[in-house]
Amino acid sequence: RLLIIDSLGQLINCDEMSELSQEEIRRRRLARLGGVPQPETAESAEISAVTNHTNPHHGDGHADIDSGEVMSTDSESMAVPVPALPLAVAQDNDDELMPAPAPRLPTLEAMDIDHSADSGTVRSRSGSHSASGAQSMDISIPSEKSSGGQSQVDVDSGIENMEIEEAEKRVRSNSEASKDSGSDLTEETLLGAICRIFRVSWKEHGQDVILLPQIQALFASAKNTSEVFVDYEDLINQVIMEVVILSVDTASEKSPFASKLLAKQTDVPLSPTGGTTPQSDDTAATATPTNQTSGTVSEVRAIDRFTIEQCRETDILNYLFECFDRVGIEERSAPKRCSTPPMNEILKSIRVQCVSYASLVLRGVFTEPRPAKDTYLLLPYILCRNLPRGFLPELVNVLHQDPHSLQAVFKPVMLGLMQQMKECSIGDENYKEPIMCFSELCEIRCGQSSTRPICNLVTSLSSWLPDALSKGVGRELQELSFLGAFCSPSVFVDDDAKCSERFLPGQIPGPDSLFLIHTSMRQSLEFIRDELFKIFHALLVNSSTRESTLAYIAAAINRNSKRSQMQLDYTSVSSDGFMLNLLSVLQQLSVKIKLNKVDKMYLYHPRCRLDISTDTRLRASRHHASQWVLEINQQGPPQEIKFPTECYYFTLHCHHLALLPTIKRYSHSLRGIREMKRMLDEIQQDEPSWKGTSLAPRNKQIMERLKSQLKRFMRVKACLEACLLDDKLLRKCLQFYGSVISLLLSLVLHDAETPSLPLPPEPPMVFSCLPEYYIEDVAEFLLAVIQHVPFILDDPCLSDIIAFLIVFICSPSYIGNPYLVAKLVELIFIASPHVQGRTQHIFHTIVSHPLALANLAPALMRFYTDIETTGSNSEFYDKFNIRFHISIIFKSLWKLPTHQTAIRQQSESGSNDFVRFVNMLINDATFLLDESLDCLKRIRDTQELMKDKQSWNLLSKEDQETKQRQLNSDERQCRSYLTLANETVEMFHYLTRDTPKPFLRAELADRLAAMLNFNLQQLCGPKCNDLRVENREKYGFEPRRTLDLLTDIYIHLNCEEFAKAVANDERSYRAGIFQEAVKTMRKSMIKTEAEIEKFVKLAEHIEEIHAARLRQEEDYIDAPDEFKDPLMDTVMSDPVYLPSGTVMDRPIIMRHLLNSNTDPFSRQPLTEDMLTAATDLKRKIDQWKDVRSKKMKRP
């Protein structure tokens, strides 16, 4: 049988006491007052906290960590606001009581603790119990109403109305002037306050009050109050204990809480503001008990989490919460009186003991042990915001010095919050409650110290940072770790389908409605991330949990390193939502970090938490990087790692693993949507051809599948846009990447305030050993921003971004990967007005930068040539895309006088860079035009075959599908090649118009002339009809414009050198081709007559040179072999020796060196300065030519 604990904490047998006389009870009580306290165990220390009163003369009322004493905390720190409603308080005019004697600790000599369960149930050594007699006082709350009416108290916890003693009301009305005075605190006033707060009486039964028979018996037998209680703290302890024992030992229908006005509502629905909604009697009668189930399992579990169970424990807790709350009401009703001793000490003691007893109830000390799964007594109160103001901070302060007690009470709460968070979705109505509660619990501190007990408890859980169990370590961390549940809320379809169904239940709405939906989704995400930041901030501010929190963040980054891979298994890594939420927290933590506080050598520190051992470095190889790190660590002890450094690099790496993979996923979804729309349009356009045939069922099935997939992709895209295209998120990312750019520039510029070019030939090792993705991520992010939300680039960091682009485009040797430099070039290409008009101001800001004016155009020309070889398997096709970007940038630069001047100066300087650039232009134009025209011929052949129904039907089904696939491939390839070819020819056009001289060099003129002749033959030759395809605009084929550009180039280069080069072309030059070109131009009115006349005169001059050349070849046909070039078999004009000893004609070997710096015979490295003039041989050749010429002139 359960025992009761008397006012000093001892256990006495109720049955035995009921048989004693009043005198014997008084004698035993006085004997106990002089007893010696027994040694306390861990369990008894906790229970003794029930009566441990705070020393009123010690400090400011906060926890003294050094001394180990628990003081009361600030009740306002982490509480849910409770409305201060009016309360009629009786005013006593009796004389003021003397201060209460110093508090005495109770003894626990009769207590027996059952350690079989964490709840620590209290049990009796004897086995019976009963109520004891007591003496009543002359203080009571009458049931009759006074003429002045009654006052009511409407409290957050659902307390009903309370009547005020009529006599006290009359006294209050007659003494308003002295209402708040502390001079009238008589013993009767103080006892009356205790009775009002606890709603008890030891005199007689009354309405809405609990009669305490044991205390009544003590008062009846005592001559004065000192025989009943040592001090007010002792009395408060007796009151609470007797109420608790009455509740535990009485049948439920006879419980002291069975009164209608004291009964606690068990179902407390959430109000829209997050507080509680008062319920009427009808609502209580229809409340759903926790043991009833209805609907789906998930619905029942969600309801259970927010429902307060109806049991003895909750009856006691409700009572203690109400008493705790009434202390605040008492203080607000008479603030001056309640702030003076001994009233303030009494109220403080009531708070402390209500909290202490509540902690014992939560541990099951007064009741039977509860199963582990049923220990969530406190959780519903927290979730429903159904606790009085200041209760939780007080509870934490009482328990924090005993970790076992703190864990017993709050571990179930933490685990319950984690489980509730796992079951919640942003699509639910109550998703905010669990994370808000956890955030507020983490903020609770012990007094004025920075210690946060809940943070300490959370990091001590086994689920804080679980060990890896499988290869999917990233997903494990999210699913199994405690914080994983709170970091997981997401709006993405793959992460939370319920959220997308709530916000996007049907078809994707129009732009205006979609904007409102996105706004709502972003607000939900912002709320989650703000609460997460509060949680992580509390964990990091708390010194004892900072290390554990940093270890968790590092583990989340390192275990998700696979997220940066091209082929990603999403089931093995954390979700996009988890990583983006963690990124948002880190962004807020690092927003105020200054670069001068960041250690640039952190990645090479022996205690660095981030693993970059397998990452590709910017310039250095992994072996060289590891050797250099070894050397610097041997030079001396590294400096201490500070939090700003770790937080900054964590944020940088989290951007790499969270933001960039999600951006790539968004790009893939856009590409997928475009491809599905294209396929669907093609099938629908061809419907007349397959409708009614055997292909109809199959094509209809394909259409339905495409429509279904397109609908899903559109939903995925909408959810991705809600998160990724959020202005606030992108601006934070831009600001952070602005600081990363400043960090990178400081490394290569040696902390110079103003960037300058050129940079030193070799980059510093601290820069060379950085991961390659530091620059790649910046480029990828800026590409996404310029394409989708360029307006956010209106930021002060734009100047640093531009300097970053120009410095590294003009210094490609600092970056080992040429594709990374190509990304930076692509940034300028995307911003070009030829690509999108809305970024014109960004492009002009870039090209107007002081560094760009003199360095950008020459750097682009060099890179145009260098990209010829990249070492990749796809380098041949990759270079065309990169060169297309450069050609578009060149087109824009050429329209700006400053840059046009820089290009002209580069061409006239005799620099080999410009010659190599022109040579690559010739190569590209030759290949692209040749390939695109061949594709057009194949397309025409297939189109003609498909027009001939008889021939087409003779083909098998497999052959028809093969032809169709080949046609699709040719069309895609033709569009791509023609786009690139048109830009290349256009670049030739404006360069030859204004800077023709470089194109007339011996090594370039012949190749340029051959390219022009071949394409002129394709457009105007006998096979030009093969290029007549249907819908040629679809492929970007404009033969008239192409012919106009080609003939203009002939006219731009009209001179003797170029005419000889055209005439020397044995492969494609035909006089008839020029005549056909003239006819076409006149027929189609491509040029004016004056321009055509210039072209005709050039053609006639070329024909004359060609005739003379043919005659000369006949004269030189018997030339000695030593006079002929070994490659072209033509008589040399300027012979040179190669290092291998071979003799070649200088124009021919120079043409070869433009494409490859190797000896064409030995494949050894070869440059222009390694050539030696063969002067003797040249003299012999010239003499031989003179002799042959004289012979030809003789009649």
User: Of 985, 1016, 993, 990, which is closest to residue 1078 (Cα–Cα)?
Assistant: 1016
pLDDT at residue 152 is higher than 70? no
Cα separation of 619 and 769, whole Å?
7
Cα separation of 161 and 145, whole Å?
13
Q: Residue 461, class by beta-carbon neighbours within 10 Å (0-12 exposed, 13-18 middle, 19+ buried)?
A: middle
Q: What secondary structure does DSSP assign to 27-86, as a single string?
A: HHHHHHHTPPPPPP-HHHHHHHGGG----TTSTTSS-BTTTTB-----TTTT--------
pLDDT band at 372 (very low <50, low <70, confident <90, very high): low
Span 218-226, average pLDDT: 86
Q: Which residues pair with 5 in a beta bridge?
A: 11
Span 68-77, average pLDDT: 35
Predicted confidence at residue 24, as pLDDT, reads 56
Span 206-229, average pLDDT: 86
Q: Which residues pair with 1165 in a beta bridge?
A: 1158
Predicted confidence at residue 844, as pLDDT, reads 94
Range with the lowest mean pLDDT among 83-92, 702-711, 987-996? 83-92
pLDDT band at 258 (very low <50, low <70, confident <90, very high): low
Secondary structure element (H or E) that encloses residue 118, with its range: none
Span 663-688, average pLDDT: 91
Residue 403's identity, in one-letter code, is P
Q: Is 1116 within 8 Å of 1131 (Cβ atoms)?
A: yes
Strands 11-12 and 112-113, bridge-based pairing: unpaired
Predicted confidence at residue 209, as pLDDT, reads 86
Instruction: Name every residue whose Cβ is closer than 8 Å to that of residue 1088 and which is 6 or more positions away in sequence.
Output: none
Give the position of tokens 């290569």.
748
Cα separation of 243 and 316, whole Å?
8
Give the position of tokens 């005495």.
104
Predicted confidence at residue 1193, as pLDDT, reads 57
Per-residue exposure over 160-175, b if at least 16 CB sit within 10 Å of its own CB, e if not? eebbbbbebbebbeee
Range with the lowest mean pLDDT among 879-893, 948-962, 982-996? 948-962
Instruction: Return the SS3 of 1124.
Output: strand
Q: Between 728 and 262, whose confidence is greater? A: 728
pLDDT, one tens digit per residue, over 473-529 is: 999 999 999 999 999 999 999 898 888 888 988 788 888 999 999 999 999 999 999
Give the position of tokens 């290409």.
829
Q: Between 492 and 133, whose confidence is greater? A: 492
Q: Is 975 within 8 Å of 1036 (Cβ atoms)?
A: yes
pLDDT band at 184 (very low <50, low <70, confident <90, very high): low
Predicted confidence at residue 255, as pLDDT, reads 64
Highest mean pLDDT among 64-73, 299-308, 1112-1121: 1112-1121
Cα separation of 652 and 643, whole Å?
14
Cα separation of 610 and 603, whole Å?
7
pLDDT, one tens digit per residue, over 715-772 is: 999 999 999 999 999 999 999 999 999 999 999 998 777 888 999 989 999 999 999 9
Predicted confidence at residue 1192, as pLDDT, reads 61
3-state secondary structure 129-181: CCCCCECCCCCCCCCCCCCCCCCCCCCCCCCCCCCCCHHHHHHHHHCHHHCCC
Percentage, residues of the chain above pLDDT 90 = 45
Cα separation of 28 and 715, whole Å?
78
- φ, ψ of residue 392 in degrees (nearest 5): -60, -50
Helix ranges (H only) for 376-481 are 378-383, 391-399, 403-423, 432-443, 453-459, 473-480
Cα separation of 706 and 710, whole Å?
6
A 10 A CB-CB count for 700 gives 14
Strands 1135-1137 and 1143-1145, bridge-based pairing: antiparallel
Span 280-307, average pLDDT: 37
Secondary structure element (H or E) that encloses residue 200, with its range: strand 200-201
pLDDT at residue 60 is higher than 60? no
Instruction: Return the SS3 of 1031.
Output: coil
Predicted confidence at residue 253, as pLDDT, reads 55
Structure tokens at 458: 């959370």
pLDDT band at 675 (very low <50, low <70, confident <90, very high): very high
Q: Is 469 within 8 Å of 476 (Cβ atoms)?
A: yes
Predicted confidence at residue 492, as pLDDT, reads 93
- φ, ψ of residue 817 in degrees (nearest 5): -95, 110
Structure tokens at 546: 């900072």
Structure tokens at 748: 């290569």
Predicted confidence at residue 686, as pLDDT, reads 81
Q: Between 349 and 119, whose confidence is greater? A: 349
Q: Which residues pair with 1143 in a beta bridge?
A: 1137
Q: Is 202 within 8 Å of 136 (Cβ atoms)?
A: yes
Q: How far is CA 277 from CA 83, 273, 387, 588, 1049, in A?
A: 13, 10, 13, 35, 84
Q: Is 938 within 8 Å of 946 (Cβ atoms)?
A: no
Of the CA atoms within 13 Å of residue 633, those in its CB half-sphere come to 13
Q: Between 72 and 381, whose confidence is greater? A: 381
User: Of 1060, 1051, 902, which is closest to residue 988 (Cα–Cα)?
Assistant: 1051
Q: Sign of dihedral through CA atoms 574, 576, 580, 583? A: positive
pLDDT, one tens digit per residue, over 892-948 is: 999 999 999 999 888 888 778 888 898 888 889 889 988 998 999 999 999 899 888
Instruction: Name every residue whose Cβ is closer than 8 Å to that of residue 119 and which is 6 or more positions away in sequence.
Output: 363, 364, 365, 367, 369, 370, 408
Cα separation of 857 and 901, whole Å?
10
Predicted confidence at residue 373, as pLDDT, reads 55
Structure tokens at 275: 């507080």
Predicted confidence at residue 171, as pLDDT, reads 40
Span 215-230, average pLDDT: 87
Q: Is 247 within 8 Å of 315 (Cβ atoms)?
A: yes
Cα separation of 425 and 561, whole Å?
27
Instruction: Return the SS3 of 810.
Output: coil
Mean pLDDT value across the chain: 79
Q: Is 247 within 8 Å of 256 (Cβ atoms)?
A: yes
Span 280-302, average pLDDT: 33
Cα separation of 239 and 259, whole Å?
18
Span 600-627, average pLDDT: 93
Predicted confidence at residue 323, as pLDDT, reads 93
pLDDT at residue 1030 is higher than 90? no
Range with the lowest mean pLDDT among 296-305, 330-339, 483-492, 496-505? 296-305
Predicted confidence at residue 97, as pLDDT, reads 30
Q: Residue 137, class by beta-carbon neighbours within 10 Å (0-12 exposed, 13-18 middle, 19+ buried)?
A: buried
Q: Is 183 within 8 Å of 343 (Cβ atoms)?
A: no
Predicted confidence at residue 28, as pLDDT, reads 53
Strands 200-201 and 210-211, bridge-based pairing: parallel
Per-residue exposure over 829-845, b if at least 16 CB sit within 10 Å of its own CB, e if not? bbbbbebeeebeebbeb
Structure tokens at 845: 């800001």
pLDDT at residue 1015 is higher than 50? yes
Q: How far is CA 484 from the centre of its chain?
A: 14
Q: Between 727 and 1066, whose confidence is greater? A: 727
Structure tokens at 985: 């020819």
Q: Which DSSP letter does residue 252 get?
A: G
pLDDT band at 249 (very low <50, low <70, confident <90, very high): confident
pLDDT band at 825 (very low <50, low <70, confident <90, very high): very high
CA angle 994–1000–1006, rounded 5-degree value: 130
Give the position of tokens 């395809």.
1029
Predicted confidence at residue 685, as pLDDT, reads 86
